Each structure stands twice: as C-alpha cells, then as structure tokens.
C-alpha cells in the first residue's frame, strides 16, 4: 500500500528580539519592538497545516519585567500558538512568572514532537545543559522514540566560524551529541543567539540557527561585528514521512539602520 506524504505542520522560529522596557527602546540603532512587529507581519500567510511559533530566547535585552509585558501584548495579537525558551539575556524565573504563555517542554505536532531545552544559565553568556536538563531530554527521547523529534535551544552546540560567538556554544555539547547519536528519531536542532542564519550537519542531524528579529551579526567575524542584513525568521516545514524543509525569511524594505558605532549588546 502506498502512503502519500502529508505536510504535518509549519514552525516559524523567532529569536533574539532583545525587547527593552518600552516601545521606543533601541539597541545598536534598531528599535527592537518595531522590528519584531515587522517580522511578525512578514511571516508567510497561514497554511492549512497547524502552525507554531517557536521563540528561542533573548526575548528581553536585559531580563526586564517590562519587556516581558510588552512581549505578552505583542503575542496576544498573534493567531498562532507559540512556545518559548530563555536565552542568556533573559531571566527564566521572571519569565515563568510574567509571561502569559507558560513554558512548554514539549509540543506535539502529528507524528512530530518539538522539545524545548534550556541552555541558558543565570549570569553566564555561554550555553550549558544541566544534568537535570539532559536527564529530562533522555526520558523524552525514550518516550517519543516512535516519533520524529526536533530540538530547540538558545545556544548552538556547534561552531559557526565566528570566533567570539563560538566561545558561547553549549559547553557540554559532547553529552548532547551522545544522546542525539543514539536516537535516530531526532531530525534537527534549532538555536538562536548567533543573530544569523547558519546550517550544518552534526551527528547526522541538521543544526540550524535563526536570524534575529532585530539586528544581525556579521558571518565569519572574529569579534563583535554587525551586518546590514534586515530582521528575519526561520521557517520549518514538517512532513509525515520524517522529511523537513527549512529556510530563512527576511523583512523587505526596512527603514531602520544598524548603528555601526555600537561595540557590544
């Protein structure tokens, strides 16, 4: 009997919005509230398949409570369901208190499952997966051994040829690699933090980063360097036979200009 391949779901990944305490907050010359709105408007029209927004951290630029209230307001207008995880600029305990959408560890999408992991640690820029996090992941990979699995986290487990950002990659990536290598159901891993689109194969799975919804970093840079690329997002299409397609989308015709005098964020 022949089974036809069905489009199971579309995930739209939003990352590194760096919202500030007010709508007029600017970082590196970019009004981050405005650029998040532009990205949401630029998302492809809703398809017949269910859609999920996956928000991969650094929602706030500085763990500000007011930034999370702003995020609540923005997302209240979204017709799509969403899930989020914290980044190094976020305050995870505060997010759990203030964000209207509770932290979701797992989102099931047909015969696929998206697992949200916390790689950010308090007061550290770099990524790390705690023993608890790894143990929960191992349990979930066992529970969902018959499904196709996607992993989401803030930090990349791989290097992307940006020396200053590569220092922040998940420190214990070896432990993650062992888990991933043991589970053939894991199809891809999606991260943020690096403010640029990047894709590579790792442990037999695709590892992809998303552009930021505000400013982008220059690919191949040794130190902090901004690029002229506009705000963007990543799209991920999932199919019933375990295939996936992914790519990036950018906002066209943005008027905001990054401030190259900025030397950090």
Interface with Fe ion (CB under 5 A): 58, 87-88, 193
Distances (CA, A) of 115 to 84, 147, 152, 158, 199: 11, 12, 6, 18, 19
Q: Looking at beta carbons only, is 39 or 140 nearer to Fe ion?
A: 39
For 131, counting Cβ atoms within 10 Å of its Cβ (0-12 exposed, 13-18 middle, 19+ buried), the class is exposed
Task: In angstroms, give the least distance from the CB of 239 to Fe ion.
Answer: 30
Task: In angstroms, give the least distance from the CB of 227 to Fe ion.
Answer: 16
Distances (CA, A) of 43 to 13, 14, 248: 10, 10, 10
Q: Looking at beta carbons only, is 110 or 126 nearer to Fe ion?
A: 126
Q: How far apart are CA 27 and CA 213, in angstroms?
A: 12
Task: In angstroms, give the least distance from the CB of 6 to Fe ion.
Answer: 35
Q: What is the DSSP letter of 219?
A: T
Q: Looking at beta carbons only, is 120 or 180 nearer to Fe ion?
A: 120
Contact partners, residue 186, CB within 8 Å, separation at least 6: 141, 149, 150, 151, 180, 205
Phi/psi for 135 (5° steps) reads -65, -40
Task: In angstroms, give the least distance from the CB of 237 to Fe ion.
Answer: 26
Residue where the block lists tokens 């991969």: 56
- Which residue of this chain has its Cβ atom nearest to Fe ion in the complex? 193
Q: Looking at beta carbons only, is 141 or 153 nearer to Fe ion?
A: 153
Task: In angstroms, give the least distance from the CB of 34 to Fe ion.
Answer: 20
Which token pair is 30? 């970019």
Task: In angstroms, give the least distance from the CB of 155 to Fe ion.
Answer: 7
Q: Looking at beta carbons only, is 35 or 88 nearer to Fe ion?
A: 88
Q: Looking at beta carbons only, is 58 or 248 nearer to Fe ion?
A: 58
* Residue whose C-alpha is closest to residue 216's, from 68, 6, 79, 18: 18
- 3-class DSSP state for residue 52? strand
- DSSP E strands in 75-111: the ranges are 81-85, 106-109
Q: Looking at beta carbons only, is 89 or 187 nearer to Fe ion?
A: 89
Task: In angstroms, give the least distance from the CB of 89 to Fe ion.
Answer: 6
Phi/psi for 261 (5° steps) reads -75, -15
């Amino acid at each position: 009997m022949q089974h036809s391949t069905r489009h199971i779901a579309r995930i739209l990944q939003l990352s590194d919005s760096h919202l500030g305490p007010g709508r007029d907050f600017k970082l590196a010359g970019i009004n981050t509230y405005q650029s998040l709105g532009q990205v949401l408007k630029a998302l492809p029209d809703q398809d017949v398949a269910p859609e999920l927004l996956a928000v991969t951290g650094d929602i706030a630029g500085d763990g500000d409570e007011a930034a999370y209230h702003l995020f609540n307001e923005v997302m209240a207008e979204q017709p799509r369901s969403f899930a989020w995880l914290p980044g190094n600029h976020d305050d995870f305990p505060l997010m759990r208190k203030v964000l209207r959408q509770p932290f979701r560890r797992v989102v099931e999408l047909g015969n696929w499952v998206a697992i949200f992991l916390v790689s950010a640690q308090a007061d550290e820029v770099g990524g790390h997966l705690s023993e608890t996090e790894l143990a929960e992941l191992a349990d979930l990979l066992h529970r969902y051994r018959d499904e196709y699995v996607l992993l989401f986290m803030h930090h990349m487990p791989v290097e992307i040829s940006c020396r200053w950002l590569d220092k922040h990659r998940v420190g214990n990536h070896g432990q993650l690699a062992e888990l991933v290598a043991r589970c053939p159901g894991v199809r891809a891993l999606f991260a943020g933090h690096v403010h640029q689109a990047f894709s590579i194969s790792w442990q037999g799975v695709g590892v992809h980063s998303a552009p930021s919804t505000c400013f982008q970093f220059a690919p191949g840079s040794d130190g902090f360097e901004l690029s002229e690329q506009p705000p963007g997002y990543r799209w991920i299409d999932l199919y019933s036979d375990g295939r996936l397609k992914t790519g990036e989308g950018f906002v066209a015709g943005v008027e905001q200009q990054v401030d190259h005098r900025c030397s950090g964020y």
